[in-house]
Chains A and B, each alone.
Chain A
Amino acid sequence: KNEVEQSPQNLTAQEGEFITINCSYSVGISALHWLQQHPGGGIVSLFMLSSGKKKHGRLIATINIQEKHSSLHITASHPRDSAVYICAVGANFGNEKLTFGTGTRLTIIP
């Protein structure tokens, strides 16, 4: 079982819909990242969370440390949001490794 599980694996929605992508992990963590991988393959960092909530434009990321769960929300979704969204965690037991989920492929239909 992967230490980091994302759901759903694939998501198709209409433009304007509110999107939620979930990430659950099994180990204690020091940091959680949300990444976006464009159709062309490039990867950009969206958020780093260690607690609470962060917002950037139409994107909101939350984390619940006790429940070992994080969500990425997209408000007023747009076709340009179509990408793969990847969750990654850094565990809090002495090493500096990142472990990744397998990603959520989001497609926004105009």
Chain B
Amino acid sequence: EAQVTQNPRYLITVTGKKLTVTCSQNMNHEYMSWYRQDPGLGLRQIYYSMNVEVTDKGDVPEGYKVSRKEKRNFPLILESPSPNQTSLYFCASSWGSFYNEQFFGPGTRLTVL
């Protein structure tokens, strides 16, 4: 089944404790991206990747890191999480670029205490 998976789905952590949210797709998509969704603000793009080893900042990259060492995986790293990073996070992928249908993961709800 074609899908985008994220892990974990739910995470409660404390300020400053490094964490990684994994994202994996099995559709051989080139474009992958991370978004956060906050009430009243909607979805905002954190980082995106056009292909392996090619990443770029979205609108809200501060406090986040990403890497794209393999085509299928695009982990989101929070090296020192803070409470303002409490949010619902989505990973998505598509063929080529943002021109094409976006396939979203199920979301990761992160709470930073």
- Chain A residues within 8 Å of B, Cβ to Cβ: 30-31, 33, 35, 41-45, 48, 50, 86, 88, 90, 95-103
Residue of B nearest to A44 (CB): B104
- Chain B residues within 8 Å of A, Cβ to Cβ: 31, 33, 35, 40-45, 48, 50, 56, 58-59, 88, 90, 92, 97-104, 106-107
When distances are taken between beta carbons in the complex, the residues of chain A under 8 Å from B59 are: 97, 99
Main secondary structure of the interface of B (DSSP, over half): strand
**CA–CA, A50 and B58, complex, Å:** 21
When distances are taken between beta carbons in the complex, the residues of chain B under 8 Å from A30 are: 98-99
**CA–CA, A50 and B97, complex, Å:** 14
When distances are taken between beta carbons in the complex, the residues of chain A under 8 Å from B107 are: 41-43
When distances are taken between beta carbons in the complex, the residues of chain A under 8 Å from B97 are: 90, 96
| Contact indicator B99/A102 (Cβ below 8 Å) | no
**CA–CA, A31 and B56, complex, Å:** 19
- Beyond A41-B88, A42-B106, whether A98 also contacts B42 by CB under 8 A is no
7 chain-A/chain-B pairs, Cβ below 8 angstroms? A33-B102, A35-B102, A42-B107, A48-B101, A96-B31, A100-B45, A101-B42
When distances are taken between beta carbons in the complex, the residues of chain B under 8 Å from A33 are: 98, 102
**B43 partner, pick from A48, A50, A100, beta carbons under 8 A:** A100
- Min Cβ gap A52→B in Å is 15
Residue of B nearest to A3 (CB): B59
| Contact indicator B99/A48 (Cβ below 8 Å) | yes
- Beyond A41-B88, A43-B90, A86-B43, whether A97 also contacts B104 by CB under 8 A is no
- Min Cβ gap A53→B in Å is 17
- Beyond A96-B31, A97-B45, A98-B33, whether A42 also contacts B102 by CB under 8 A is no
- Min Cβ gap A103→B in Å is 6
| Contact indicator B99/A90 (Cβ below 8 Å) | yes
Q: 7 nearest interchain CB pairs?
A: A102-B42, A90-B98, A43-B104, A100-B43, A45-B101, A31-B99, A100-B42
